[in-house]
């Protein structure tokens, strides 16, 4: 019985559609009426953990070409909003910063190929157009500028490299990992 009540609470906390909610509620009630079989609860999906709430991540980039946040975690599929701020004072054309999240096929051992490709794309904020390894990115920011990108974390657990692709910045420290687990 306790499990059924938890199930109802979990659904109510994330109402996406009132009709579905009501249906779920009445379904749960009839299950309880049936004798609260654990097997039935499992079959209706009530045993699944509720979805992780959205997560906000703030990263600052400075004139020393460093990110102040070099690691953060995400749950599989979690909605993530990354806000990048350029806290430096050097003009954008010589010290712009962006945030690019890459697929896990890209790692520190092979990232140079991506950086080389990105370095030729100044007119695209150093983001290669149609690059399939780019999962999410902000625009290129000048001093005091801020941009937010919202995306769903991949469902595949692992380490996802993020970086600023302005030429030369990766090797100085504008990089980090998002760990999905």
Q: Does 160 bind Cu ion (CB under 5 A)?
A: no
- 11, 66, 169, 175: residue in contact with Cu ion (rule CB under 5 A): 169
- Smallest distance from Cu ion to CB 170, Å: 8
Q: Does 164 bind Cu ion (CB under 5 A)?
A: yes
Q: Does 161 bind Cu ion (CB under 5 A)?
A: no
Piece in contact with Cu ion (CB under 5 A), picked from 79-87, 129-137, 144-152, 156-164: 156-164
Residue 152 per-residue DSSP state: E
Query: Among residue numbers 3 through 42, which ones bind Cu ion (CB under 5 A)?
Result: none
3-state secondary structure of 79: strand
Total residues at interface with Cu ion (CB under 5 A): 5
* 71-74 and 175-180 strand pairing: parallel
Query: Among residue numbers 75 through 104, which ones bind Cu ion (CB under 5 A)?
Result: 97
Angle at 93 between CA 123 and CA 114, to 5 degrees: 55
Query: Among residue numbers 96 through 155, which ones bind Cu ion (CB under 5 A)?
Result: 97
**Measured distance CA(91)–CA(72) in Å, rounded:** 28
- 174, 175, 177, 180: residue in contact with Cu ion (rule CB under 5 A): 174
Which CB, 114 or 166, lies closer to Cu ion?
A: 166
Helical (H) or strand (E) element with 66:
none
- Nearest residue (beta carbon) to Cu ion: 164
C-alpha distances out from residue 70 to 58, 123, 169, 175, Å = 11, 27, 14, 6
Contact indicator for 67, 164 with CB cutoff of 8 Å:
yes
Which CB, 140 or 153, lies closer to Cu ion?
A: 140
Which CB, 78 or 174, lies closer to Cu ion?
A: 174
Which CB, 41 or 166, lies closer to Cu ion?
A: 166
Angle at 75 between CA 73 and CA 79, to 5 degrees: 95
Q: What is the widest separation between alpha-carbon atoms in the chain?
A: 69
Q: How far apart are the first and last CA of the chain?
A: 31
3-state secondary structure of 123: helix
Which CB, 31 or 136, lies closer to Cu ion?
A: 136
Q: Which residues bind Cu ion (CB under 5 A)?
A: 97, 164, 166, 169, 174
């Amino acid at each position: 019985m306790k499990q059924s009540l938890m199930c109802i609470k979990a659904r109510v906390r994330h109402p996406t559609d009132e009709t579905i909610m009501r249906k779920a509620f009445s379904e749960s009630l009839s299950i309880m009426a049936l004798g609260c079989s654990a097997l039935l609860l499992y079959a209706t999906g009530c045993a699944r953990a509720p979805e992780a709430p959205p997560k906000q991540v703030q990263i600052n980039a400075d004139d020393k070409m460093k990110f102040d946040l070099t690691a953060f975690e995400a749950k599989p599929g979690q909605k993530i909003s990354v806000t990048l701020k350029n806290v430096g004072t050097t003009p954008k054309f010589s010290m712009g910063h962006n945030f690019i999240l890459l697929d896990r096929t890209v790692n520190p051992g092979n990232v140079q190929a991506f950086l080389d490709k990105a370095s030729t794309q100044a007119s695209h904020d150093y983001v290669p157009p149609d690059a399939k390894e780019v999962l999410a990115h902000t625009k290129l920011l000048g001093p005091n500028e801020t941009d937010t990108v919202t995306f769903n974390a991949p469902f595949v657990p692992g380490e996802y490299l993020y970086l600023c692709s302005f030429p030369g910045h990766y090797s100085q420290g504008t990089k980090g990992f998002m760990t999905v687990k």
